Amino acid sequence: MPSRARVPRNLVYDVSLIGFAKWARRRLECLSYKVVIPPYTEDNHIVAWAEDNFNDDFLIITADKDFPCERKIVLPMSFRTNRGIGKPKYERLYTILCRELHSRGGCP
């Protein structure tokens, strides 16, 4: 059976998802992830700060498809609904995040 790659345990959130990070913190800590809110708002500063503090043990959670880091998970900010386009609820974003972490070898 092939071994899966180890998923970083530090989840660094972009500024646009800080509310979601606070909501999901307790749930992710139960799965042994550490939710980290960086002290910076600029994308390049967040990446440099994460690399300095966590070496290779981090993933950046963002809603920005153009975020300048390859180690990221991009969460969608709009969904199709029966009434057109809608904003996602935190529960749906959490499900998408867990699926992505699971596909990378984390989240049971």
What does the CA dihedral 74, 8, 90, 96 come to, rounded to 10 degrees?
60
Cite the DSSP H helix spans in the chain: 18-30, 43-54, 90-103
Q: What are the pLDDT digits (tens) for 24-63?
A: 999 999 999 999 999 999 999 999 999 999 988 899 999 9
- Report the predicted TM-score, pTM, of the whole model to 2 decimal places: 0.86
Q: What are the pLDDT digits (tens) for 10-22?
A: 999 999 999 999 9
